[in-house]
């Protein structure tokens, strides 16, 4: 683990605590919220303390001349996706991630099952981005119809 991931609201809480001179509170917040959802990478007390001290240097809250410990991990706040704009053929619809799921499901008759699935998959991708997970794009394999296989043609060729 090279960094500690938190959401943007948690980073605001930590920075506000540091500005108010509440370093211990900032460490507690980071320890409980850092790398949330990744049990194997929970943040220990020493890691949280060093990371908070590094953040203090980065935002100018540390005493002059203080430098970050070389083992201190960097705190990263993932992007928070607040709104997505879609056009289902009836004009732009701006939605947050929760509304995006409901809108896709309610518009399923108009957009079709495949498009609905793609939108729901996209919601999962956006949530993963917010959680700081790595996203990879994988090509879909071509499905082969066994009856057409003897002719060397798959479904994608029809």
pLDDT in tens, 34-82: 877 666 678 999 999 999 999 999 999 888 889 999 999 999 887 777 7
For the whole model, what pTM was predicted? 0.58
pLDDT of residue 154: 46
pLDDT of residue 37: 62
pLDDT in tens, 102-151: 888 888 888 888 888 888 888 888 877 776 677 888 887 766 666 655 55
Kindly list the domain boundaries of the chain, sorted by start residue.
3-77, 84-130
pLDDT of residue 90: 81
Is residue 122 a contact partner of residue 132, using CB atoms and an 8 Å limit?
no
Buried b (16+ CB within 10 A) or exposed e, 35-74: bbeeeeeebeeebbbbbbbbbbeeeebbeeeeebeeebbe
Q: How far apart are CA 150 and CA 13, in angstroms?
A: 63
């Amino acid at each position: 683990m090279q960094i500690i991931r938190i959401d943007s609201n948690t980073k605001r809480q930590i920075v506000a605590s540091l500005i108010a001179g509440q370093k211990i509170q900032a460490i507690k917040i980071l320890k409980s919220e850092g790398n949330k959802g990744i049990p194997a990478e929970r943040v220990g007390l020493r890691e949280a303390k060093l990371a908070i001290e590094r953040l203090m240097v980065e935002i100018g809250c540390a005493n002059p001349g203080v430098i970050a410990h070389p083992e201190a991990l960097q705190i990263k706040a993932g992007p928070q996706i607040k709104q997505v704009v879609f056009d289902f053929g009836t004009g732009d619809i701006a939605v947050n991630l929760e509304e995006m799921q409901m809108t896709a499901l309610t518009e399923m008759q108009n957009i079709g099952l495949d498009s609905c699935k793609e939108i729901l998959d996209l919601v999962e991708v956006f949530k993963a981005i917010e959680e700081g997970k790595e996203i990879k794009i994988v090509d879909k394999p071509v499905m082969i119809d066994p009856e057409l296989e003897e002719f060397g043609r798959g479904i994608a060729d029809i």
